[in-house]
Amino acid sequence: MSNIGSYDQRIKGFSWSIAEKELDYQQDGDINIGWYCSDRICRQGKGDKLALIWQGATGNEKRYTYNDVRRASNTIAKYLVDLGIHPGDRVCLFMDKIPELYIGLVGILKSGAVAQPLFSAFGDEALLLRLKDAQTSAIITQRKHAGKVRNILSQLPCLEHVIIVDYDGKKPLQEREKAFSLEDMPPVEDFESYPAKAETHSMLHYTSGTTGQPKGVKHVHDSLVSQYLTTKWVLDLRDDDIYWCTADPGWVTGTSYGVIGPWSLGVTQCVTDIGFSADNWYAFIEKQRITVWYSAPTAIRSLMKAGDEVVKKYDLSSLRHLVSVGEPLNPEAVVWSQKVYGKPFHDSYWQTETGSIMISNYPGMEIKPGSMGKPFPGITAAILDPINYEPISEPGVVGLIAFQPDWPARMRTYWNNEATFQNKFRNGWYLPGDRGRLDKDGYFWFVGRDDDIINTAGHLVSPFEVESALLEHPAVAESAVVAKPDEINMEVVKAFVALKPGFAASDDLELNIMNFIRKKLSPLAMPQEIEFVDSLPKTRSGKIMRRLLHAREWGEAIGDTSTLEDNE
């Protein structure tokens, strides 16, 4: 029996007090996320239970119990307070997926400071933009990334402390730099966590910038309530699970469900810093006996590209529940995972701004491949008319995906950008910026970003629908669809396609693909052109950046590319 049980029963009379009661949290009481993810678990008698199993790039392994996490996070918290970091100060985490990144997040929150995780592959300019906007007080980083900080330090008068966690003494520390080592410092047994309240600022996440400049998303400690319960009911985490979230904590999935969710439940999680390959990932699942796996469509499609045979080399029988996040999961990926793993990936929908999962497919519920699923209990979701912002009740009609406030993990504002935050609301609804439709059974179906929708001769075409049809062709590894200018129809559909190994671009293959998808799409949705490419532009979090392809077709400025996968 899954944690959520009957979905229909759960949505009846739902209250977030379910989570508050399980967390022993009283309204108006203290709710420091860091304390809940470490000290509370130890007080439950689980101090000796493994919290983190970490595997480095060379295969080396470190293991941390909840007592280890509690003491190490205390050590970090006290160190920050002794430096003069005040409650509300922003402290940036700029590291690879090493243990200090995960434990550091807990320590920052315990100190009362605001955690600002940033993806370690960012270049100088991307880092500068975010640190300057946040007026960050301290950054915790590694030797390999310290050079990026030094390059921009003169432009960051607010950045008082550059903390290097792996300083080896071979080169002298430079301006504002400090050496810090969890292994060398005496562990702090007792630390009184900052008495955070529900609305105390906890996290400052920067959006990936797929549209325009990245924005700082302000979250509060009350987000724990949403993150705890969605982790339990959507990811179905149980006390004996071994959990793997593949997302980097530089992105919101890696914090909400790669740190806070599992550790607030007292679950053992695994992290690997080894590079992606089908063999590497399958070997990791086999070695650690992973039971619950939370990954991204980009990774799943890459595993599909690697083929079915490689799966047979490994014992993946430990897996019991698979969930996807980050962008829409194509139907073909759901069907494929059922075939090769014996279990389907359950798609989940949310974004940095919502802070927690909003719509999902749940354990025990029928999956319709390609569907986002149904709203999480306590979440009121709808498809709105884009003109009058009223809910559309008729199945199949495309409109704006919308959520009715409120839920605990919702962002409280955009940092230094309240006007843009207020612009996310219409007629009492929060608009995440996506279009979708409902079917007769109440399942939501993603159509595309509101600014991605292609209007050809007055007919709306979903890029996702066309991309999904393309992915069903045996030669297609990845696809992206955008609008292309057209004198007659204003705009038409153009597809960019990356091929699987063993296939070569040719006019014959283009015709073959066209004929293949003609049976699946309406004439208006058919691509008027297919361009073969070696790879598609993606953010470092794995989202395809259609914006760049669209800008190229229309001769527009491409805007911020700091989060582009291959951009340094």
Domain at 311, CATH number:
3.40.50.12780
Q: Is the domain of 426 the same as that of 478?
A: no
Tokens in use for 437? 């439709």
Question: Is the residue at 559 inside a domain?
Answer: no
Q: Which domain holds residue 523?
A: 456-554
Distance, CA of 351 to CA of 312 (rounded, Å) = 34
Give the per-residue pLDDT at 559: 59
Report the candidate in 243, 276, 274, 272 with the shortest Cα–Cα distance to residue 260.
243
Q: Fill in the amino acid letter for 80.
A: L
Give all strands (DSSP E) within 283-343, no chain letters: 292-295, 321-324
State the CB neighbour count (10 A cutoff) for residue 395. Answer: 14
In the listed set 438, 470, 488, which residue is the last one of a domain according to the structure? 438
Q: Say if residue 490 is in the same domain as residue 423.
A: no
Eight-state DSSP code of residue 394: S
DSSP at 544: B
Sequence-ordered strand ranges (E) for 169-302: 177-179, 201-206, 216-220, 242-245, 268-272, 292-295
Longest dimension (CA), the chain: 72
Whether residue 431 sits in one domain with residue 347: yes
On whether residue 564 sits in a domain, the answer given is no
- Interior CA angle at 547 toward 545 and 549, to 5°? 85
Is 477 contained in some domain? Answer: yes
Q: Which residues contact 65 (CB under 8 A, 6 or more apart)?
A: 47, 48, 49, 50, 51
Provide the strand spans (E) within 285-330.
292-295, 321-324
Backbone angles phi, psi at 7, to 5 degrees: -60, -45
Same domain, 142 and 248: yes
Q: Is 20 helix (H, G, I), strand (E, B) or coil?
A: helix
| 3-state SS, residue 455 | strand
What six digits make up the tokens of 78? 């006290």
- Secondary structure of 327-365 as H, E, C letters: CCCCHHHHHHHHHHHCCCEEEEECCCCCCCCCEECCCCC
Q: How many domains is the chain built from?
A: 2
Query: Please, what's the b/e burial string for 34-64 (b: 16 or more CB within 10 A of its CB; e: otherwise)?
Result: bbbbbbbbbeeebbebbbbbbbbeeeeeeeb
Is residue 500 within 8 A of residue 332, CB to CB? The reply is no
In a domain, 120, yes or no: yes
pLDDT of residue 563: 56
CA 478, distance to chain mean position in Å, is: 20
Check: CB of residue 290 under 8 Å from CB of residue 323. Answer: no
State which of 409, 438, 467 marks the end of a domain: 438
Distance CA 496, CA 532 (A): 6
Task: State how far the Cα of 121 lies from the Cα of 565, in Å rounded to an integer.
Answer: 9
Same domain for 196 and 301, yes or no, is yes
* Domain-ending residue, one of 438, 470, 500: 438
**Cβ 160 vs Cβ 176: under 8 Å:** yes
Residue 297 resides in a domain: yes
Q: Which amino acid is at 513?
A: I
**What is the pLDDT, as a whole number, of residue 469?**
87
Claim to verify: residue 337 and residue 370 sit in the same structural domain:
yes
Q: Is 363 found in the same domain as 492?
A: no
Helix ranges restricted to H, 84-209: 99-111, 124-134, 143-152
Q: Answer yes or no: do 412 and 546 share one domain.
A: no
**Tokens 């900052």 belong to which residue?**
194
Q: Is residue 568 part of a domain?
A: no
In tens digits, what is the pLDDT along the chain, a chain of 568 residues?
Answer: 899 999 999 999 899 999 999 999 998 899 999 999 999 999 999 999 999 999 998 889 999 999 999 999 999 999 999 999 999 999 999 999 999 999 999 999 999 999 999 989 888 888 998 999 999 999 999 999 999 999 999 999 999 999 999 999 888 999 999 999 999 999 999 999 999 999 999 999 998 644 456 799 999 999 999 999 999 999 999 999 999 999 999 989 999 999 999 999 999 999 999 888 999 999 999 999 999 999 998 889 889 989 999 999 999 999 999 999 987 888 999 999 999 999 999 999 999 999 999 999 999 999 999 999 999 999 999 999 999 999 999 999 999 999 999 999 999 999 999 999 999 999 999 999 998 999 999 999 998 777 777 877 656 677 887 898 899 999 999 999 998 887 767 788 999 999 999 999 999 999 999 999 887 776 777 899 999 999 998 876 677 888 789 888 888 766 556 555 554 3
Structure tokens given for 377: 């209990």
Contacts 24+ apart (CB under 8 A), 335-339: 335/369, 336/304, 337/300, 339/308
Q: Report d(CA 303, CA 169) in Å as an integer.
A: 41
Do 172 and 236 lie in one domain? The reply is yes
State whether 344 and 289 are in the same domain. yes
CA–CA distances in Å: residue 21 to residues 26, 225, 368, 501, 567: 8, 10, 33, 53, 46
- Give residue for tokens 């590319």: 561
Q: Which residues contact 528 (CB under 8 A, 6 or more apart)?
A: 484, 486, 492, 493, 494
Q: What is the CA radius of gyration of the chain?
A: 23
* pLDDT in the model for residue 552: 87
Rounded alpha-carbon distances, angstroms, from residue 213 to 199, 209, 347, 536, 559: 26, 5, 28, 20, 7
Q: Count Cβ neighbours within 10 Å for each residue of 373-384 and write b for 16 or more, e otherwise.
A: bbbbbbbebbbb
Per the domain annotation, does 503 fall within a domain? yes
Residue 207 in any domain: the answer is yes
Q: 465 and 414, same structural domain?
A: no
In CATH, what number is assigned to the domain containing residue 495?
3.30.300.30
Residues 60 and 160 in one domain: yes
Length of the chain: 568
- Our CA dihedral for 333, 403, 26, 260, rounded to 10 degrees, sits at 30
